[in-house]
Chain A
Amino acid sequence: MSTQQDLICEQIDNIKMAKVYERPDSLLDVRMHYCPGCGHTTTHKILMEIVDELQIKNEVIGVAPVGCSVLAYDYLDIDMQQAAHGRATAVATGIKAVQPDKYVFTYQGDGDLAAIGTAETIHSANRGENFLIVFINNGIYGMTGGQMAPTTPIGEKTATSPYGRDRATMGAPIDITGLLAQLPGTFYATRQSVHDAKAVRKAKKALTKAFQYQKLNKGLCIVEIVSNCPSGWKLTPYESNQWMIEHMMSLYPPGDVKAPSKEDLQS
């Protein structure tokens, strides 16, 4: 993405025009496999915008575990490791231990982070690991075809909760970001979304902070992106975003859950 220094001006219809938005360089010019309107795709895009704007492409190592985003390394032009289901934060712990000066992030879905990988997630936070968890919470298992996730709202019908999620037998939706915020090792926990331009701007700001906080070495950052799953929810992309606002955001309201104070930000 262009910065002020290399702002490109072109003449279009005799008017001096500046390019004010373009695809980030670090997002490879390949077709992403995600369904139309999927929040994963938008999140990939803004992550790479940040990598380009912060000029940290040579210092970033990403981890993509099993889930819809397991092929993220095909799209992001950065060093990456694919991880076993649920183990992304353990893999990131290993990377950060031997590459402490690099920016390390995991990119995990709700099944990965909040079900099979809960132990790794909580203990990474509790150790105060200095990496970023990007947590895509769409309340469903997209990759395997729309099964219930730990974050699925009560009453929501999925392939494995065909009569709706029943609290008595299937438990209540789990708020992992809220849980992690309770731990002293968590430095910054925030919940965002990418369903409209305003939300994208905010999410980008939160993710930018979370990357930069790594240099403070003060603990784990988690940025939850409350997202959609048009295919899993069987809605159009726009409808899925409306459904998300109505049903997901009441459970997972956007905003900072734990934000560092001014003193915390002193290096």
Chain B
Amino acid sequence: MAKLKGEVKIAIETCKGCELCIHECPQDTLVMSEELNQRGYHYAVVAVDNCTGCTNCALVCPDACITVYREVRGKKQPIAQISNVTEDMTITIDGRQP
């Protein structure tokens, strides 16, 4: 099965240029911009259209600048579902246990 298609949207004015997302991306999708934002930071931008929507960049982004989309094939996939703690202590993210 081909990799799922993903897409990220980055709030560039919120970005502080920490680069953690760049180190975290398994696809090397992201790079730092040449330009500065209004606060004077280089910000993360998409360099290659190969995102799989894994959300790693967004999870590690301290300032919550990144919104992630992922292709839906067939049934809808849950993104973060938490079951009742006292009965079953499991959290699933993207339908998997982290």
Contacts and interface: CB of A to CB of B under 8 A. Distances in A.
Contacts, number: 151
A204 interface: yes
Contact of B79 (A4, A42, A196): A4
B82 interface: yes
A24 B66 CA distance: 11
Contacts of B3: none
Interface residues of A, number: 58
B71 A16 contact: yes
A70 B94 CA distance: 34
A236 interface: yes
A10 B53 CA distance: 14
Nearest to B26: A197
Contacts of B64: 23-24, 27, 45
A265 B89 contact: yes
Interface in B16-57: 16-20, 23-24, 39, 41, 53-57
Interface residues of B, number: 48
Interface of B: 5, 7, 11, 14, 16-20, 23-24, 39, 41, 53-72, 76-82, 84-86, 89, 91, 93-94, 98
Given A45-B64, A215-B85, A241-B20, 12 more contacts: A20-B53, A20-B68, A36-B17, A37-B62, A53-B80, A53-B82, A194-B60, A196-B24, A197-B24, A197-B54, A201-B59, A265-B86
8 contacts: A4-B76, A10-B69, A12-B69, A17-B5, A31-B39, A34-B62, A53-B82, A215-B85
